[in-house]
Chain A
Amino acid sequence: MSVLMRATEIEGRPVVTLAGEHVGDVKDVVFDSSKGKMLGFTLRSHGFFSAPRKDVLAWSKVASLGRDAVMIREEDALEEEALAAEGISEHHNVLGNQVLTDTGTDLGKVADVIIETGVTAEIVGYEVAASEALATHGEHVLIPLPDTIAVSGEHLMVPAAALEFVSHDLSGFGAAVQDFRAKLRGGSG
């Protein structure tokens, strides 16, 4: 089962082992900016069971990302070293970045990142404070992303066709992402 959620919703959520021990809280969501994948979380360590350097939790080690806690199997799921620095960006780094279409229209600034979680965790969209180019100027809207996109950078580029699939809430957004990607795969036809 896959679930859509905002990256900021996950921040501060406690990370708990299946043995019931609290190992830390989610500090930030970490992306592979070249592939649009979520790699995991940086943590704010907690309690005397957590060594100070073990501060990264890879998505593959997450047993379940729940409403009230991120569940992991073992405390040693935490990585000794930070994820390789190359091509990694934290969620906070894209907030406020300008989203441009590939035809040069400014859609607004990134307010949040929408993640689809399942076996893998993927960046499927941005929540932006809509620019004048959108009818809903000033409101927050959800813009779908292609399967592969750079998530970081000063400007975030999306295909102009994304405009046709803008949503206003998460409930319909999953379908919008699928339709948008189907259209891109279909090419001009």
Chain B
Amino acid sequence: MRFREADGRKVVSAESAESIGRIEAYVIDTGARSVSAFRLAKAKGDATFVSWEDIQFGPDAVIVPSSDRLRTARDEAEARAASKDLQPVGKLVLDESGTALGKVGDVEFDPGTGAIVEFDLGDQGTVTADRLIGLGAYAVVVAEAP
């Protein structure tokens, strides 16, 4: 599953069978190289975050057991991680030696586990997620090509 494909995907409560929001942003745990939470658009109230553990990423919808799984950001770091600044798509990719590799066109993740698989740099090829070192407002920093 790709970020661009997942963007705007509806999130449905299993309990009420109602749509409770749409995926708007990804919280990426850089150390774990995985999606740890989503921030939703069109959610009612301030609780716009949902943890990966609380969802099931289906082929057509993201299912949560009930709308009470929605929560606010855990801390400032999580709020920042879900902000536009730290969304990887469109961001410069630098390797740790300081050479630019391209820009992130899309991100592939495993819908079963949330693990990030690779960054798609379009014509510049792909970078596997095991090379991820940091994700900041300026760049995605990755290890040099093996």
Contact = CB atoms under 8 A, between A and B. Distances in A.
Interface of A: 14, 16-22, 47, 63-71
Nearest to B132: A20
Given A16-B94, A18-B141, A19-B141, A66 B99 contact: yes
A160 to B, nearest CB: 38
A37 B137 CA distance: 33
Interface of B: 30, 94-100, 133-141
Contact of B96 (A21, A47, A71): A71
A19 B30 CA distance: 9
Nearest to A67: B99
A68 B136 contact: no
Nearest to A14: B138
5 contacts: A16-B98, A18-B96, A20-B136, A21-B136, A22-B137
Contacts of B99: 66-68
Given A16-B141, A18-B141, A19-B141, A71 B98 contact: yes
A71 B138 contact: no
B98 A17 contact: no
A18 B133 contact: yes
A76 to B, nearest CB: 15
A66 B144 CA distance: 12
B100 A22 contact: no
B134 to A, nearest CB: 4
Contact of A20 (B97, B98, B100, B135): B135
Given A21-B136, A22-B136, A66 B141 contact: no
A167 B94 CA distance: 33
Given A16-B141, A18-B141, A63 B96 contact: yes
Given A66-B94, A69-B94, A71-B94, A19 B136 contact: yes
A64 B138 contact: no
